[in-house]
Amino acid sequence: MLNEQQITKLLERIIDPVLEATLLETDGIIEVSATDAGTTLEIALADPEQQTEEFITNITELLSQFGHEEIHLELSYLPTSKIEKIIEGRNNILSPESKTQFIAIASGKGGVGKSTIAANLAVSLRRLGKKVGLLDADIYGFSLPVLLGTSESPTTKDEKIIPVTTYGIQLVSMESFVDEGEPVIWRGPMLGKMIKMFLEDVMWDAPDFLIIDLPPGTGDVALDIHTLLPSCNEIIVTTPHHAAATVASRAGIMAQKNNHHILGVIENLSYYLSESGEKIYLFGQGGGEKVAETLKTELLMTFPIEQPEQNKNGYLSGIYEENTPLGDDFLTLAKKINQHL
């Protein structure tokens, strides 16, 4: 039989059926007593009258494996303040209770396909069954809504922004906050306020991953992300060209100086595959390896130059479909990232 400390450790993994949080996270284990007369437990739940039959069965079956047959279980209510704190923490991805993993997609130069990488990684993580948010933080060069084929605008609730849902992912982009065709002419302080709003004033639905499409370079937005998200992960995107690789390395070094974890490097536009099967290296070779070596990280993937197929309506999406060569490659990338984190 287990002692009281061992029982507590075992129960910490049990899930509150309403809050979908562990008893460790809810502080729901109120009392544990183990004597020769039996085992007495008091556990507080968000609502002890909902979905409790399976909950009780899980506990009794778990403890019976360790010789605890006489189990007296009392269920009580969690304090309202505790429930509100847990729910608020889920809606605020910056709170200590949030389990969201942040992944910033960065590059040195523009035009390397960074946004395409961000969009397809987000969709591929969703295809793995993960809850995914996608933040278009490229304030001047926002393009994710176009890549994802949506013109829908976010709504609001309780003074919070509700993200658009497309491909099963939650999307917020600067495009929704400016008139069509209107350029964004802002300086640093305004950029910082917008990024902070995207993180704090959006009702993200507890995503497992928040993919952040950064603007190219090492400017104000990148600095704001480093300040607001000190534990952010980053993926550096480059092309094979030595100029793009050199500038991409600077973006990675900046991230490392701000204690961001570099998950790896992606070399995009690596080659063009001709009809004969020959690889034609339009931008040279070795840029991704050079950046990975400089940053002492791995080269995660190399992606060729290939256009997504048109859908039945003739729309050219920015997303590679499942069961296509690049769709499979992005799924491989998503699996790597999921294993890393």
Confirm or deny that 109 is annotated as ligand binding.
Answer: yes
pLDDT surpasses 80 at 88: no
**21: CB partners within 8 A, 6+ apart:** 15, 86
Percent of the chain with pLDDT over 90: 52
- Whether 71 and 132 share a structural domain: no
Confirm or deny that 113 is annotated as ligand binding.
Answer: yes
Q: How far is CA 48 from CA 13, 14, 18, 45, 88, in A?
A: 18, 14, 9, 5, 21
Whole-model pTM over 0.85: no
* pLDDT tens per residue, range 180-218: 655 555 555 566 677 778 888 888 888 999 999 988 876
* pLDDT tens per residue, range 127-161: 999 999 999 887 777 889 889 988 888 888 878 88
Per the model's pLDDT, the better-predicted residue between 90 and 7 turns out to be 7
Q: What is the CA radius of gyration of the chain?
A: 24
Confirm or deny that 108 is annotated as ligand binding.
Answer: yes
Confirm or deny that 112 is annotated as ligand binding.
Answer: yes
Q: Which of 56, 73, 90 is the last residue of a domain?
A: 90
- The pLDDT value recorded for residue 90 is 66
Q: Which of 63, 90, 117 is the last residue of a domain?
A: 90
Quote the Cα angle for 173-175-179, to 5°.
155
- Whether 66 and 204 share a structural domain: no
- Whether 261 and 285 share a structural domain: yes
- Whether 82 and 230 share a structural domain: no
Q: Which of 90, 115, 142 is the last residue of a domain?
A: 90
* Identity of the highest mean pLDDT range in 106-110, 186-190, 243-247: 243-247
**293: CB partners within 8 A, 6+ apart:** none
- The pLDDT value recorded for residue 333 is 97
Confirm or deny that 114 is annotated as ligand binding.
Answer: yes
**103: CB partners within 8 A, 6+ apart:** 121, 209, 210, 211, 212, 232, 233, 234, 235, 263, 337, 341
The amino acid at residue 214 is: L
- Whether 40 and 127 share a structural domain: no
Report, in this order, helix, strand and coil percent for the chain, each rounded to 5.
35, 25, 40
Q: How many CA atoms lie within 13 A of 171 on its CB side?
A: 30
pLDDT category at 314 given cuts 50, 70, 90 is low
pLDDT surpasses 70 at 220: no
Quote the Cα angle for 127-133-138, to 5°.
120
pLDDT surpasses 70 at 60: yes
DSSP state of 139: S
- Whether 84 and 103 share a structural domain: no
**118: CB partners within 8 A, 6+ apart:** 105, 134, 144, 211, 212, 213
- Whether 56 and 125 share a structural domain: no
Q: Report the distance separating Cα 168 and Cα 114, nearest Å.
A: 21
Tell me the average pLDDT across 164-177.
Answer: 87
Among the residue ranges 90-94, 188-192, 227-231, the one predicted with the least confidence is 188-192
- The secondary structure of 198-210 as a DSSP string is HHHSB-----SEE
Tokens of 237: 């995107």
- Whether 134 and 231 share a structural domain: yes
* pLDDT tens per residue, range 282-292: 999 999 999 99
- Whether 220 and 118 share a structural domain: yes
pLDDT surpasses 80 at 304: yes
DSSP state of 270: -
- Whether 105 and 65 share a structural domain: no
Tell me the average pLDDT across 48-55.
Answer: 86
* Burial (CB count <10 Å: 0-12, 13-18, 19+), residue 96: exposed
Confirm or deny that 296 is annotated as ligand binding.
Answer: no
Pairing mode, strands 155-157 and 160-162: antiparallel
- Whether 234 and 276 share a structural domain: yes
- The pLDDT value recorded for residue 21 is 84
Tell me the average pLDDT across 311-317.
Answer: 62
User: Residue 167 belongs to a domain with what CATH number?
Assistant: 3.40.50.300
- Whether 48 and 147 share a structural domain: no
Confirm or deny that 178 is annotated as ligand binding.
Answer: no
CA–chain centroid gap for 87, Å, is: 19
Pairing mode, strands 272-273 and 279-280: antiparallel
What mean pLDDT value characterizes the chain? 87
Range of the domain at 47: 4-90
- Total domain count for the chain? 2
